[in-house]
Every structure is written in structure tokens, then in C-alpha cells.
Amino acid sequence: MKKELIGVYIIWLRDIKRYLRDKPRIIGSLAQPILFLFVLGTGIASSFSTFGGGGGKDFLNFMFPGIVGMTVLFTSFFGAMSIVWDREFGFLREVLVAPISRTSIVVGKLLGGSTIAMIQGSIILLFSPLLKIPITFAIFFKVLFIMFLVAITISAMGIVLASVIKSMQAFQVITNFLLMPMFFLSGALFPLNNTVKWMNVVSKINPLSYGIDAMRTMILNNPALQLYPLWLDIMVLVSVTLVMSILGAVLFSRQD
Amino acid sequence: MNNTGANNNIIEVKNLVKEFKGLKAVDGITFSVREDEIFGFLGPNGAGKTTTINIICTLLSMTSGEVTLNGYNVARERNKIRNCIGMVFQDPSLDDRLTALENLYFHGLLYNIPRRTLKERSEEVLDMVNLSSRKNNLVMTYSGGMKRRLEIARGLLHYPKILFLDEPTLGLDPQTRNKIWDYIIKLKKSKDITIFLTSHYMEETEICDRIAIIDNGKIIALDSPDNLKSIIGGDIITILSEDNIKLKEYIKGITGSEVHDAKEGKIRFEVKNSSIFIPKFIKNSPVKILSISARKPTLNDVFLDLTGREIREENASARDNIRSRMMGRMRH
């Protein structure tokens, strides 16, 4: 048991060390959310006055938790998908022949990817004063908890996919056909309660919707923007996290 | 020859078959590796070398057959096997954003080496491959040869009973390749360890005690390098002449041996003793000889003799190329 925990720790530590040493990656992965928030967000917000209607400032605030969610989504997904090439060309092979179980590798990878996603998400949270959104320590830790749940869910989903699909080409396809729709239909960029029916239905099976809803409730505390009660958000997230993690561990342990 | 008592064998492979979607990558091979020997797997890319190694070291399941290592069953006792093997993979598996020492430290913890021992052993193995002075540098600053040396050092860190080296010199320049072999020979001299290596560089596998030549998933010969070379009648003669067809007929008549086409319009064949054969041959040849050379047989000639093909990558047939590419894709 102790040996397995050490295995988990090693996988986690390796991911963290790699992350902290890769400065271009840190900067690069923050560029996207910042671009979304301050360029796209500001642009869309100002277009409200062109097409009638106000609330541009409110829109930026609305989008902010969505961008935190987006950061967590992309960071944790790519972290988990690194298994695809790591297995072929890298360090993972070394871990696979070591005397530790596949489950420990999966748990280590989940925790490593999630830790990095939480760090990245927290950095985005630091921009809240620019939007004049007050974030107390209590709110920060609550949001951190949701980020953790979302990150584990998405990482586990990445591991499930990496276990089933093994080529780099397929990875590109998944990014376009799964990750982007998940992001667009999560309520990150626009409210889901006033959209067309099919979007509303799809968003209900998207685990990210619940994560972003929970973060929005915690950060903005505006009942008008809330889709589901907080307890429901958390329950859905915890359930999906458990199911995905178990599925990931089982699929990854299969030997071909 | 040596006694082949079953208890001397550290690896036993019986009727091993591995299919990838109907394609037989390993086609019913049986062999054993003796304790403390250097055992070599020799064959072209896609012959099934890496697949076999991956099965023995628990990375891949088998379609059928039986494999035991150090008395443990590969299908059932994976962790016991993982504890007693060291691996050096074909593709580097170091983390290039960690230092050499960190790579070793992680490895040591994975193999449950106590921290105090780990420190001593890290110094020991780094010293062995002459990397002590660079131990705190990130691996991404290392050259290809240094990376391979570090991988060998890491493979030895937990004192495995068997060290697997899958194409340890692949992609390295000749000088570096020689150095790697020097380290491997030094290692064998200083430790009681069984070494199982694969290569498609014929010359390099001559350091092995025994070699299995593998082609299209089958073992086509298994013996010591000298015995393998004695399969060839004697010396290899290569000739460039004005009329190869006529000369071929003539040679067949006087020696009785097969004559093959070789590179650059030359022909080649084997004779028992070239120093006696050549003067007589030149005197009596019905065709003008433009050049003639004789040499001792190499393992490459053995492979050519057994398969009718050369082993070298650049000479692999189109079918082999496709096969190796497909194998590459399916290797995980």
C-alpha cells in the first residue's frame, strides 16, 4: 500500500515539476483565457449597445467564472491526454514497467493534472479586481473545491479517451468535436436558460455546465444567473468524477 | 557445448504467439536465456524483437504460449517480474525536464529503494557511465549518447537480475555506438547480470554469448556467433566481371555452391579456403575478372544465407517497410 502511495506521489510530483519548469507553457496557457476575457469579452460586451440593450459590464462579470472554467477544462484535458504520446515516447513507459499498479498511475496522473489546472484557474481568479468582482478567501477556497471536481472529471475523461484512442490524429479530432462543443455548451460564454431547446438539452448532459454554474453562483452570487441549486451542481460533479475515475482506471489497466 | 540444465535458464519462452489484428508479429517462438549470459535478438525492423521483449517484460499480453522469468509467470506474476528486470527502451523514456539525479531518484522510489541506499547507488551508476559531472543538469541538455548512458544507469539502479536493452545504439553515431558497447561489456565484467539485447546492427551483436536470429516473427537460428558463422562454408568472395551470367555458371560448376547477386553489379559466393581458391580461379576463369575480394563471414552473411535478404534497413523490402511501420503503430 505504501509502495502504491509512493507511486502516486512520484507521478504527481513529476507532473508538477515539469509544469513549474516549463515557463513558456505557463505563459502560453494563460494567454488564451486572458484573450477570451479581455479581448473577446470586452468586444462582445461593447456590441450590446450596437444591437440594443445594455448590460455590457454585467456580461463581462457573467463571463468571468466561465473563463475560469475554461482554463480548468483545457489544462486538465491536455494534461491527461499527454498520456497518448508519453506512453509511446516518454517517461510513462518507464513507469509502466515499474512494480506499481496501473491504478496508482491513473490516480497520480489525475491528481497531477488537477493540481496544475487548479493553479492555472487560481491565476485567472487573481484578475477579479480588474472586473471589480470581490473575491474573499472563503469564496476562493469554495471555488477551488469546484475547480478540483471539474479538473478530476475532465482529467479522468481524458484518461478514458487516451486509453481507447491511441493516435495523435484522433487526438486532434477529439479536440474539435468534443472539447470545443463542451466548452461552448457549458454556459461559459452565454446563459443557457434563454437559448434554443436543443442547446439547453445538450448542456444538461455536459458535466462542465454544472461546474461553471457552481463557480458562477459562488463568485457572483446572483440568483438570476443560477441554473441549478448548488447542492445539485456538486452532486452531479461528484458522481461524474467517481464514474469517470473508475472507468479511467479500469480502461487504463487493460493490457493489449 | 554448454550444459543446458533447466535450472540455469533465467528466461523460458515456449510457443509464444502474438497477433495484432490477425497479423502474426511473433509466430510461435521457443527459446531460453541462461543465467549470466549476454543473449542477443538479431533481426530486421518489424521482425518481432520488440514485441517479444515487451511481452517478457509485462508490457504486452500474449496471444498464446508460456513465458517464465526467474521462475515467475509473465501472465500472472507481473509485479514480481517487474522487480527483477531493468529496461532500456528503444525510444528514450527519460523525463527531459528533470535532472539526471532526479530521474534516478524517481526511479529508485518507484522500485522501493530506501533513500539512503538510493543516494549511494545513484552515484555508483552515474560514475559507471561517466555522467557524475553532469548529474545536476536537465536531461534535455544531454546528447543522444549521454541520454542512452543515463538510461542504462537507471536500468541498473535497482540491481535487476536481467537488463533488457532494446536497440541500445539505435540512432547514435558510430563512435558513440562503440562507447555504449564498451559500457555494456564493462558492466557484464563487473556484475553478475544477465543481459538480453536486441539489435539490427549485425556486427554489434558479436559480443553476445548466444544469438537468436529472428525474421518474420520466427527464430530461424540460435547459437553462438562463431557457430552461426560456421553455417557459411568458409570465406565470402565478391567478384566484378565482364560477364556475370557466364561466370555464375562456371563457379557453380567448380564449387557446387550458390552464387548470389551482390551490390554494384557484383556477384558473391562462398568457398572453404579463399587463399588457395583465388589464384587457381583467376588463372582458369573463362571471363575477364575486373575485381575480386575475399573476407571472413559476418553475421550479416549468416542472415543473408538463411533468408536470402540483407538485414540492413536500407535494403529491407517494401513489404518489410510496411510491416515495420504497421508494427510501430501497433507496438503499444
The answer to whether B107 contacts A13, with C-beta atoms less than 8 Å apart, is: no
Higher pLDDT, A13 or B261: A13
Interface residue B162 vs chain A (CB under 8 A):
no
What is the per-residue pLDDT for B120? 92
Q: What whole-number distance in Å separates Cα of residue B89 and Cα of residue B167?
A: 8
Q: What string of H, E and C letters represents the secondary structure of chain B?
A: CCCCCHHHEEEEEEEEEEEECCEEEEEEEEEEEECCCEEEEECCCCCCHHHHHHHHCCCCCCCEEEEEECCEECCCCHHHHHHCEEEECCCCCCCCCCEHHHHHHHHHHHCCCCHHHHHHHHHHHHHHCCCHHHCCCEHHHCCHHHHHHHHHHHHHCCCCCEEEEECCCCCCCHHHHHHHHHHHHHHHHHCCCEEEEEECCCHHHHHCCEEEEEECCEEEEEECHHHHHCCCCCEEEEEEECCHHHHHHHHHHHHCCCCEECHHHCEEEEECCHHHHHHHHHHHCCCCEEEEEEECCCHHHHHHHHHCCCCCHHHCCHHHHHHHHHHHHHCC
Percent of chain A with pLDDT over 90: 41
What is the per-residue pLDDT for B329? 45
Q: What whole-number distance in Å separates Cα of residue B157 and Cα of residue B177?
A: 22
Q: How many Å from the N-terminal Cα to the C-terminal Cα in chain A?
A: 26
Q: What whole-number distance in Å separates Cα of residue A208 and Cα of residue A98?
A: 35
* Distance between B297 CA and the closest CA of chain A, angstroms: 37
Interface residue A98 vs chain B (CB under 8 A):
yes
Angle at CA B11, nearest 5°, toward B8 and B16? 135
* Distance between A98 CA and the closest CA of chain B, angstroms: 6
Q: Is the pLDDT of residue B295 over 80?
A: yes
Q: Is the pLDDT of residue B322 over 50?
A: no
Can you read off the three cell numbers belonging to residue A190? 452565454
Higher pLDDT, A22 or A68: A68
What confidence tens digit (pLDDT) does each residue in A36-58 have? Answer: 888 888 888 888 777 766 666 78
What is the per-residue pLDDT for A256? 65
| Strand pairing class (B38-42; B210-215) | parallel
Q: How confident is the model at residue A139 (pLDDT cuts 50, 70, 90)?
A: very high
Amino acid, res. B160: P
What is the per-residue pLDDT for A54? 65
Q: What whole-number distance in Å separates Cα of residue B4 and Cα of residue B82?
A: 26
What is the per-residue pLDDT for B203? 76
What confidence tens digit (pLDDT) does each residue in B180-232 have? Answer: 888 888 888 888 899 999 988 877 788 899 999 998 899 998 999 888 888 77
Let me know how long chain B is. 332
> Please, how many CA atoms are within 13 Å of residue B323, restricted to the half-sphere of its CB?
19
- CB-CB contact of B35 with B84 (8 Å): no
Q: How confident is the model at residue A89 (pLDDT cuts 50, 70, 90)?
A: low
* Distance between A97 CA and the closest CA of chain B, angstroms: 6
The answer to whether A17 contacts B98, with C-beta atoms less than 8 Å apart, is: yes
Disruptive mutation site among B95, B110, B151, B166 for chain A (greatest number of A CBs within 10 Å) = B110
Can you read off the three cell numbers belonging to residue A113? 493534472
Q: Which region among B95-104, B201-210, B282-291, B302-311 has the lowest average model confidence (pLDDT)?
A: B302-311
Percent of chain A with pLDDT over 70: 96
The answer to whether B91 contacts A93, with C-beta atoms less than 8 Å apart, is: yes
What confidence tens digit (pLDDT) does each residue in B71-92 have? Answer: 999 988 988 999 999 999 888 8
**pTM of the entire structure?**
0.81
Disruptive mutation site among A23, A97, A251 for chain B (greatest number of B CBs within 10 Å) = A97
Interface residue A107 vs chain B (CB under 8 A):
no
The answer to whether A256 contacts B83, with C-beta atoms less than 8 Å apart, is: no
What confidence tens digit (pLDDT) does each residue in B235-259 have? Answer: 888 888 888 888 888 888 888 778 8
Q: What whole-number distance in Å separates Cα of residue B152 and Cα of residue B191?
A: 14
Q: What whole-number distance in Å separates Cα of residue B28 and Cα of residue A18?
A: 43
What is the per-residue pLDDT for A104? 92
* Distance between A89 CA and the closest CA of chain B, angstroms: 6
Q: How confident is the model at residue A118 (pLDDT cuts 50, 70, 90)?
A: very high
Instruction: Tell the residue number behind the cell numbers 517517461, with chain if given.
Output: A91
What is the domain partition of chain A in residue ranges?
Answer: 2-253
The answer to whether A89 contacts B95, with C-beta atoms less than 8 Å apart, is: no
Disruptive mutation site among A91, A94, A104 for chain B (greatest number of B CBs within 10 Å) = A94
Can you read off the three cell numbers belonging to residue A153? 472529471
What is the per-residue pLDDT for B332? 36
- Among chain A residues, the shortest Cα distance to B20 is held by A256
Amino acid, res. A87: R
* Distance between B280 CA and the closest CA of chain A, angstroms: 57
* Distance between A151 CA and the closest CA of chain B, angstroms: 24
Interface residue A177 vs chain B (CB under 8 A):
no
Write out chain A residues lying below 8 Å of B25, CB-based. none
Please report the number of interchain residue pairs, chain A to chain B, with beta-carbon separation below 8 angstroms: 78
Which domains are seen in chain B, by residue range?
A: 6-229 (3.40.50.300), 235-296 (3.30.70)
- Its sign, for the CA torsion A118, A124, A126, A128, is negative
CB nearest B89 (choices: A9, A93, A167): A93
* Distance between A181 CA and the closest CA of chain B, angstroms: 29
Residues 6+ positions from B300 with CB-CB distance below 8 Å? B202, B203, B310, B311, B312
Higher pLDDT, B297 or B315: B297
Q: What string of H, E and C letters represents the secondary structure of chain A?
A: CHHHHHHHHHHHHHHHHHHHHCHHHHHHHHHHHHHHHHHHHHHHHHHHHHCCCCCHHHHHHHHHHHHHHHHHHHHHHHHHHHHHHHHHHCHHHHHHCCCCCHHHHHHHHHHHHHHHHHHHHHHHHCCHHHHCCCCCHHHHHHHHHHHHHHHHHHHHHHHHHHHHCCCHHHHHHHHHHHHHHHHHCCCCCCCCCCCCHHHHHHHHCCHHHHHHHHHHHHHHCCHHHCCCCHHHHHHHHHHHHHHHHHHHHHHHHCCC
What is the per-residue pLDDT for A111? 95
- Among chain B residues, the shortest Cα distance to A1 is held by B112
- Among chain B residues, the shortest Cα distance to A21 is held by B97
* Distance between B201 CA and the closest CA of chain A, angstroms: 22
- Among chain A residues, the shortest Cα distance to B80 is held by A99
The answer to whether A14 contacts B98, with C-beta atoms less than 8 Å apart, is: yes
The answer to whether B91 contacts A88, with C-beta atoms less than 8 Å apart, is: yes
Interface residue A87 vs chain B (CB under 8 A):
yes
Interface residue B57 vs chain A (CB under 8 A):
yes
